[in-house]
């Protein structure tokens, strides 16, 4: 009997076509799940007979309680080399190896700019009007040249944002709790005096922070109140960095010009979630890393991870 591998959240049905799984032929049988398994009970039932599981990013938590219910699981592969929703210690206790894959920072940066530009030029409104016989021009776009781009976080993704902003003629400032003036200037940004100064002065605020105890809820009602009513917020990082209720209130009351969102407190976003109908929102279904090149890397290296595990020499081990 071949070993079994489950690929979770294969929404587009591409897991077995964007990578060459033939090296595992005869050894491993691959099953992809195109529908999201939302509860621990669903996951436990669906994955009970699998030795290998491939999960994308942090879409599915693997706490100790779930790992205990997967008696056959030997290898858990997560795309990327960092994952905050896997209980590594308990996996090790159970003899489960956890491996990752490489990833690139370019796709989420590109999507961030797509959201920012879409908001600034009201592309959805104008495109929909053109397609449905609506008014010929009904909005006035926000300029980028001469405006201030505020980057909350200047790590791998934030640092890629700065030169692009400069290429648009924007004044780029950045802030995070440990950011130094030297690091900011090396990335092509000015160091904001404080988070408050950045929020008060920026015309576009883009979030590029890791989720941690320090950043969870970092932008709440008091922080959003500092933003200009003409300013836009873009979040392609983690939903929990921004207080969702406070953001909804700011949007409904017109206290900020709009928000570009790719991350949500619950994913997939429930049909009745208020962000689906909130005003001044341009939203995408967590597409940050969803590009062909990234998926070829994720699934191709997942195959490599399985091959290495089968030979007794796991690679890209996490934990």
- pLDDT tens-digit readout, 55-78: 999 999 999 999 999 999 999 999
Asked if 200 and 226 touch (Cβ cutoff 8 Å), the reply is: yes
Does 179 score more than 90 pLDDT?
A: yes
Strand ranges (DSSP E) for the chain? Answer: 3-7, 28-32, 52-55, 75-78, 97-100, 148-152, 171-175, 190-191, 204-207, 232-235, 258-261, 281-283
Say how far apart CA 264 and CA 285 lie, in whole Å: 9
pLDDT (mean) for 283-290: 97
**Average pLDDT value over all residues in the chain:** 97
Tell me: the pLDDT tens digits for 19-51?
Answer: 999 999 999 999 999 999 999 999 999 999 999
Per-residue pLDDT reduced to its tens digit, 191-237: 999 999 999 999 999 999 999 999 999 999 999 999 999 999 999 99
- 197, exposed or middle or buried, with CB in 10 Å at 0-12, 13-18, 19+? middle
Q: Whole-model pTM?
A: 0.94
> d(Cα 35, Cα 51) in Å, to the nearest integer?
20
Active site residues: 238, 267, 286
Residue 281 has pLDDT above 90, yes or no: yes
Question: Bigger pLDDT: 105 or 117?
Answer: 117
SS3 151: strand
What secondary structure letter does DSSP report for 289? T
Cβ contact 174:191 at 8 Å: yes
pLDDT attached to residue 1: 82
């Amino acid at each position: 009997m071949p070993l079994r591998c489950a690929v979770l959240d294969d929404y587009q049905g591409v897991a077995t076509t964007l990578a060459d799984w033939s090296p595992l032929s005869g050894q491993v049988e691959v099953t992809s799940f195109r529908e999201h398994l939302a509860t621990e009970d669903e996951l436990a039932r669906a994955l009970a007979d699998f030795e290998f599981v491939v999960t994308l990013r942090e879409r599915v938590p693997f706490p100790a309680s779930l790992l205990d219910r997967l008696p056959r699981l030997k290898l858990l592969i997560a795309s990327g080399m960092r994952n905050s929703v896997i209980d590594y210690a308990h996996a090790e206790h159970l003899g489960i190896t956890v491996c990752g894959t490489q990833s690139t920072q370019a796709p989420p940066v590109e999507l961030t700019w797509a959201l920012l530009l879409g908001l600034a030029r009201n592309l959805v409104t104008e495109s929909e009007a053109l397609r449905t016989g609506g008014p010929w021009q009904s909005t006035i776009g926000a300029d980028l040249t001469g405006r201030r781009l505020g980057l909350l976080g200047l790590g791998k993704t934030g640092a890629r944002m700065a030169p692009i902003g400069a290429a648009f003629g924007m004044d780029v400032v950045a802030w995070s709790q440990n950011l130094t003036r030297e690091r900011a200037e090396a990335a092509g940004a000015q160091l904001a005096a404080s988070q408050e100064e950045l929020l008060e002065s920026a015309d576009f605020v883009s979030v590029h922070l890791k989720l941690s105890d320090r950043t969870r809820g970092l932008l709440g009602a008091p922080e959003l109140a500092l933003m200009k009513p003409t300013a836009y917020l873009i979040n392609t990082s983690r939903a929990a960095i921004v207080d969702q209720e406070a953001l909804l209130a700011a949007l409904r009351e017109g206290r900020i010009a709009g928000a570009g969102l790719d991350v949500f407190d619950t994913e997939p976003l429930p049909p009745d979630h208020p962000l689906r109908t909130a005003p001044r929102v341009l939203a995408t279904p967590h597409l940050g890393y969803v590009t062909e090149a990234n998926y070829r890397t994720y699934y191709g290296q997942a195959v490599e991870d399985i091959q290495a595990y089968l030979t007794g020499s796991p690679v890209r081990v996490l934990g």
